[in-house]
Amino acid sequence: MNKAFQLSPRDVFVHRWLFHIAVAKFQLKQDAEGLDFLLRSIEANRTYAVAHFALAARLALLGSREKAHAAARAGLAINPSYTIRRVRNHIQSDNPTYLANRERFYEGLRLAGIPEG
């Protein structure tokens, strides 16, 4: 990752790279590390709504409900049509581990106050 940032320090998609690193950390159940990458993703592009929703879910799962609700509100301000149902419609794998982690993500979204849809 550091090499990539050295090669392209002004990459306009850095927020997406940071987001995907966070998702990988969450798949490995390294939530605290993933939070750092999500915060960096949001810092790089505050209008990337999906990072706000992921942050909301992870904060909720870690027990930081007030911060989770704030992150959910920030995401919904950018994308008010975001719902858990819409997320469920975009499953990218049938791998059992991936699906189990998705269920964990949905639960975090619920706890953060994201509508079911």
The pLDDT, as a whole number, for residue 27 is: 86
Q: Does residue 38 lie within any of the structural domains?
A: yes
Per-residue pLDDT of the chain (117 residues), as tens digits, is: 666 666 666 778 899 999 999 999 988 888 888 999 999 999 999 999 999 999 999 999 999 999 999 999 999 999 999 999 999 999 889 999 889 999 999 999 999 999 999
Q: Does residue 33 lie within any of the structural domains?
A: yes
Q: Does residue 108 lie within any of the structural domains?
A: yes
Here the CATH number for the domain that contains residue 89 is 1.25.40.10
Q: Does residue 2 lie within any of the structural domains?
A: no
Q: Does residue 29 lie within any of the structural domains?
A: yes
Question: How many residues appear in the chain?
Answer: 117
Instruction: Report the domain count for the chain.
Output: 1
Helical H runs in 1-117?
Answer: 2-7, 14-27, 31-44, 49-61, 65-78, 84-88, 96-112
The pLDDT, as a whole number, for residue 53 is: 98
Instruction: Give the distance from CA 106 to its chain's centroid.
Output: 11
pTM (2 d.p.): 0.90
What is the spatial distance between Cα 19 and Cα 53, in angstroms, rounded to a whole number? 11
Taking the CA atoms of the chain, what radius of gyration do you get in angstroms? 14
Q: Does residue 6 lie within any of the structural domains?
A: no
